A and B are shown apart, each in its own frame.
Chain A
Amino acid sequence: MPLCDYSCGSADHRLSRRAFLGAAGASAVLGRDVFAGPATGELSRAQKRVLVIFLAGGVSQLETWDPKPGTETGGPFAAIPTSVPGTHICELLPLTAKRMHRLALVRSLNSTSDDHGIGEKIMLTGRKPEAGIEYPHIGAVAAKLLGTADQVMPGHIAIFPRGSGSGKQDATFLGAKYASVPVADGRPPADLLRPAGLSEETDRQREELRRKLTDKFAKSRRSAATEAYAESFTQAERVFRRADVFDIAKESLKTAERYGRHDFGRHLLLARRLLESGVSYVKVSHSNYDTHHENFDFHIEQLGEFDRPFAALLDDLSDRGMLDSTLVVVMSEMGRTPKINDRYGRDHWSKAWSVALGGCGIHGGAVVGKTNATGTAVVDREVSAGHLFHTYLQAVGLNSTKNFYPNDRPVPIADPKAEPIAEILV
Chain B
Amino acid sequence: MPPSSPPIDPTATRVRAEFKHNSPLIGCRFDPSGRFLFATAQDNTIQRFDLLTGAKVSLLGHQSWVRGLAFLPLRASAVAEVAAAEMFRVASPAVVGTGPAVGSAPRPHPIKMISADYSGRLMWWSAAATIPTPIRTVQSHAGWARAVAVSPDGKLVASCGNDQDVKLWRAMDGSQVRVLEGHTSHVYNVAFHPDGTHLASADLKGVVKDWDLTTGACVRELDAKILHKYDPSFMADIGGARGIAFAPDGRLACCGITNVSNAFAGVGNPAVVVFDWKSGKATSLKPKDAFQGTAWGVDFHPAGYVIAAGGGSGGRIWFWKGEEPTSIHTVTVPANARDLALHPAGDQLAVAGGNGSAIVYALQPTGVK
- A contact residues vs B (CB 8 Å cutoff): 1-4, 6, 57, 69-70, 72, 75-78, 161, 163, 263, 287-288, 290-294, 297-298, 300-302, 340, 342-343, 345
Whether the pair B143, A288 counts as a contact (CB closer than 8 A) is: no
Asked if B93 is at the interface (CB within 8 A of a chain A CB), the reply is: no
Whether the pair A343, B232 counts as a contact (CB closer than 8 A) is: no
A301 to B144, CA, bound (A): 13
Whether the pair A288, B234 counts as a contact (CB closer than 8 A) is: yes
Asked if B48 is at the interface (CB within 8 A of a chain A CB), the reply is: no
Asked if B362 is at the interface (CB within 8 A of a chain A CB), the reply is: no
Nearest CB of chain B from residue A284's CB, rounded to whole Å: 14
Please pick, from A290, A300, A342, the residue contacting B234 in the complex, using a CB distance under 8 A. Answer: A290
List of B residues within 8 angstroms of A287 by Cβ: 234-235
Whether the pair A163, B64 counts as a contact (CB closer than 8 A) is: no
Spot the interface stretch: B122-130, B169-177, B260-268. Answer: B260-268
Whether the pair B42, A72 counts as a contact (CB closer than 8 A) is: yes
Complex interface bits, B150-188 against A, C-beta within 8 A gives 1, otherwise 0: 000000000000101000000000000000000011100
Nearest CB of chain A from residue B230's CB, rounded to whole Å: 8
Nearest CB of chain A from residue B206's CB, rounded to whole Å: 13
Asked if B38 is at the interface (CB within 8 A of a chain A CB), the reply is: no
Complex interface bits, B133-150 against A, C-beta within 8 A gives 1, otherwise 0: 000000000011000000
Ordered by A's residue number, 24 sampled pairs between the chains whose C-beta atoms are within 8 Å are A1-B143, A1-B186, A2-B164, A2-B185, A6-B235, A72-B23, A72-B43, A75-B42, A76-B42, A76-B65, A76-B118, A76-B144, A77-B64, A77-B118, A161-B235, A163-B232, A292-B264, A293-B265, A297-B238, A298-B263, A298-B264, A300-B186, A343-B266, A343-B354
A298 to B265, CA, bound (A): 12
Assuming the contacts A2-B204, A72-B43, A78-B119, asked whether A300 and B162 have C-beta atoms less than 8 A apart, the reply is yes
List of A residues within 8 angstroms of B185 by Cβ: 2
- B contact residues vs A (CB 8 Å cutoff): 23-24, 42-44, 63-65, 118-119, 143-144, 162, 164, 184-186, 204-205, 232-238, 263-266, 293, 311-312, 335-336, 354-355
Whether the pair B336, A342 counts as a contact (CB closer than 8 A) is: yes
Nearest CB of chain B from residue A8's CB, rounded to whole Å: 9
Nearest CB of chain A from residue B60's CB, rounded to whole Å: 12
Nearest CB of chain B from residue A288's CB, rounded to whole Å: 4
List of B residues within 8 angstroms of A2 by Cβ: 164, 184-186, 204-205, 237
Please pick, from A4, A57, A77, A343, the residue contacting B237 in the complex, using a CB distance under 8 A. Answer: A4
Main secondary structure of the interface of B (DSSP, over half): loop
List of B residues within 8 angstroms of A293 by Cβ: 263-266
Whether the pair A294, B238 counts as a contact (CB closer than 8 A) is: yes
A69 to B119, CA, bound (A): 12
List of B residues within 8 angstroms of A298 by Cβ: 234, 236, 238, 263-264
Nearest CB of chain A from residue B303's CB, rounded to whole Å: 31
Nearest CB of chain B from residue A85's CB, rounded to whole Å: 22
Assuming the contacts A293-B263, A298-B264, asked whether A342 and B143 have C-beta atoms less than 8 A apart, the reply is no
Closest chain B residue to A298, Cβ basis: B236
Closest chain A residue to B234, Cβ basis: A288
List of B residues within 8 angstroms of A57 by Cβ: 234, 264
List of A residues within 8 angstroms of B235 by Cβ: 4, 6, 161, 263, 287-288, 302
Nearest CB of chain A from residue B340's CB, rounded to whole Å: 16
A340 to B26, CA, bound (A): 12
A75 to B65, CA, bound (A): 8
Closest chain A residue to B24, Cβ basis: A342
Whether the pair B354, A342 counts as a contact (CB closer than 8 A) is: yes
List of B residues within 8 angstroms of A290 by Cβ: 234, 264
Whether the pair B312, A301 counts as a contact (CB closer than 8 A) is: no
A294 to B118, CA, bound (A): 14
List of B residues within 8 angstroms of A301 by Cβ: 236-237
A291 to B144, CA, bound (A): 19
Whether the pair B24, A340 counts as a contact (CB closer than 8 A) is: yes
List of B residues within 8 angstroms of A292 by Cβ: 264-266
A343 to B265, CA, bound (A): 9
Nearest CB of chain A from residue B105's CB, rounded to whole Å: 33
